Amino acid sequence: MNKSLKICFGRATSLIGIIFTCVPEKCFGLWKPLNTLSDEINIIIVRCLVFVAIFILCILLYVCRCRVNVNARNHLIQVEYGDILKKKDCKRVIAFDECFSIKVGNRPEDINPKSVCGQYLKNNPSLDIEELIKSTHLKPANGTSQYQNKVHYESGRVLLNGDDLLLAFAKLNQNGRATFTRDEYLKSLAVLWSEINTYYNQKDVCITILGGGTTDFGEWNPTQQELLDTIIQSYKLSKHKIKPSNKLRIICRKKDVNINKIDGNI
């Protein structure tokens, strides 16, 4: 029996135990599936049918759920399907590249208009990145970006824009394409957890599957499911956590990941 069926079987067993304890036995005798058999046998059959129905219901609820909580000690992680731009009453992390580029278009170096960042810029046409950099006192990283020697910022650092945390994330190559090695990705996440710990202000923090778009990971080449697992494990291992009752919420699309297959941690 695989893990999912074991979970559903355990839940069904718990529920049926409560039902059998609280519901009088005579209630199971109100319906006789087989009139040729004794009342006792009919009651056993009805009990079995009730258990099967509860088991099937547990499977359907498990498969169709839209959010899950990941097992964690002293902190809360929730993975859910949805659109981060529609989330309210939380700190939303919106991933930019390391240079905080804001040009949306279809060229390789442009921000994809269908991406979260592209939609965010469309919804915030008057966004002044330079002013946010000044008000947040964000210092440039050493050296310059590979792309046109632009000023860049350490991956994982954020700018404050109201309740939004604008994230310097993907590194740019000479062609303006987002790139990451596995080590660079993990280092960026570690910096991000530190930043979130500073700025979450007793609110939930919502992030997407970072790097799940057109980012080039070279030889690593993870799936979005693997990126999700990597983000969760990185956060678990970090010393910087959001204190309960607030939590880290990872927002993803149903077509990209299966929240019932999160590294066996559900």
Tokens for 263?
Answer: 């590294």
Per residue in 26-57, pLDDT tens? 887 788 888 777 888 888 888 899 889 988 88
Q: Which residues of the chain have a pLDDT value below 70? A: 1-3, 263-266
Calculate what percentage of the chain has a pLDDT beyond 70. 97
Q: What is the DSSP string of 58-110?
A: HHHHHHH-SEEEEP-SSS-EEEEES-GGG--SEEEEEEEETT----BSSSTTS
Q: Is the pTM of this model over 0.85?
A: no
- Are 85 and 123 in contact by the 8 Å Cβ rule? The answer is yes
Rounded to the nearest angstrom, the gap between the alpha carbon of residue 226 and the centroid of all alpha carbons in its chain is 12
Q: Give the burial class of 169: count Cβ atoms within 10 A of its Cβ; 0-12 exposed, 13-18 middle, 19 or more buried.
A: buried
The CA–CA distances, whole Å, from 233 to 193, 238, 253 equal 12, 9, 20
Domain range annotation of the chain: 3-64, 68-261
Distance between CA atoms of residues 262 and 257, nearest Å = 9
CATH topology of domain 68-261: Leucine Aminopeptidase, subunit E; domain 1 (3.40.220)
pLDDT at site 263: 58
Contacts of 244 (CB under 8 A, 6+ apart): 74, 75, 76
Per residue in 91-102, pLDDT tens? 999 999 999 999
